Amino acid sequence: MTRLLFIYVLWNATIVFATSLVYLYFKNAGVSDLNLLVSSLFWPAGALLSLLLMDRKPKIDARILMALGSFMFLAAFALLFLLPPTKELLFVYQFLTGAPCFFFCIPFNTLYFALAKKNAATLSTVYNSMGSLLGLLLPIASGFIAQEFGFNLMFAASAFVFLLPTAAVFMLNPSRFKYDLADSLIKTRGFKTLSFIEGVSTGGAATVVAVISLAYFREPLGLGRFLAATTLFSVVASLIVSRFSDKTRKRKTYIAVFSCLCAIATIAAAFGTNLVAWYGAVGVRNFFLALFIPFTTAILVDSRRNIGKIMVGREWVLNAGKLVGAAAVVSAYLVFPSLYLSLAVVGWLLLLYPVVIELKRKHISVG
C-alpha cells in the first residue's frame, strides 16, 4: 500500500499541477466557450475507446499499462508546448488525457481497492481527496509559473514531470491484467445505473463549472488561488465522515444526504452570477461533492465482487455517463444559451441516486 500511495500522490501531483490552467490557456487564446464545452466530449471518448481497444486482449503487465497512461499525459503536454493553441489541439489534448482513464486508472484501482476490507470508504476518501489536497497549493504554483514565465514553460515543465510517474510505476511488483468488457458489465449488475447517473451529473457539471470560472478569473495566478480556496475544507470533512461510515457501515444514509445536498448545491451554483456568489457556490458544491464521491466507490468494494471486473464495468458506464453529460451541457448551451442554465440541466440528477439504490435492492445491498 505504501508504494501504491506514493505513486498515486506523484500521479495526482503532476496532474493537478499540469491541468489546472489548460482551459484558461485556450480561453485567452480565443477559443470560444462553446468549443471549451465541446472539448469535454473528447475526454470520455478517449476513455471509452481505450477500453474497447484493449477488450479481451492477452494479459499484459499492469505496470506497462500504467506507464503508457502516464506517457500519454506527457505527450499531451508536449503538444501544448509545441503547437499553437487552437480548438483542434484542445480536442486532441482532451482525448489523450481521457485515454489514461483505462491505461493508468483501472489497473491502479484494481490493485488499490483489492486491499480495502473494513475501511473501504476511508481508502476511497484518501483516493478521491488526493487531488483536492494537492489542489490547495499546486494550482497556485502553476499559476505563478504561467503568469511570471509564460504558459509554454509551464507546459514544458508539465511534460517533464510526467516522466516521474511513468518511471515510478515499475516500483510495483509485476501483475498481469486482462478483462472481458461484456463479462465485467455483467458483474457490475445493480451498479450500472448509479455509475451512469454519477457520470452524467458530475462529468457534465465539472466542465461547466470550470468554464464559468473563467469569466471571473483571466489571470493564471488568480485562477490558481480560486481553485485552491474552493477546496479548502473538503478533505478534512470527507475523511471524518468516511471514517465514521466505515465503523457504522450505514452507507445508505450518507449517500442519500450527501448526493441530495450536492445536487442542491450544484443547482444553487447556477444562480451564482457574481464573483462572491460564485465563490461561495463552488466552495459549497465542492464540499458536498467531496463528501459524496467516496461512497460511490465504497459500495462497490462492499459488494465483495471481483474487484478487477467491477472496476472495468464501472469505468465503462461512468465514462458513458460523462459523455452523455457533456453532450447534455453542450446541447443546453446551444438551446438557451447560458452556461448557468447548462449547469442546472445536469445538476439535479444526483437527486435520483438514493432513489435508484432503493429500486436496485434486488441486485445490490447497501447498508
In a domain? residue 193:
yes
Share of the chain above pLDDT 90, in %: 34
CATH number at residue 164: 1.20.1250.20
pLDDT at 154: 92
pLDDT tens column, 46-91: 999 998 888 888 888 888 988 999 999 999 999 999 999 999 999 9
In a domain? residue 367:
no
When comparing pLDDT for 253 and 48, which is higher?
48
pLDDT at 245: 59
Q: What is the mean pLDDT of residues 137-159?
A: 91
Domain count, the chain: 1
In a domain? residue 160:
yes
189: containing domain: 2-359
Q: Is residue 1 very low, low, confident or very high in pLDDT (cuts 50, 70, 90)?
A: low
pLDDT at 119: 60
User: pTM value?
Assistant: 0.90
> What is the rounded CA–CA span in Å between residue 98 and residue 93?
9
Q: What is the mean pLDDT of residues 31-55?
A: 93
Q: 329-337 contacts: CB < 8 A, separation 24 or more?
A: 329/37, 329/40, 329/204, 329/205, 329/207, 329/208, 330/34, 330/37, 330/38, 330/40, 330/41, 333/33, 333/34, 333/37, 334/34, 337/34
In a domain? residue 366:
no
Q: Is residue 291 very low, low, confident or very high in pLDDT (cuts 50, 70, 90)?
A: confident
Average pLDDT, the chain: 85
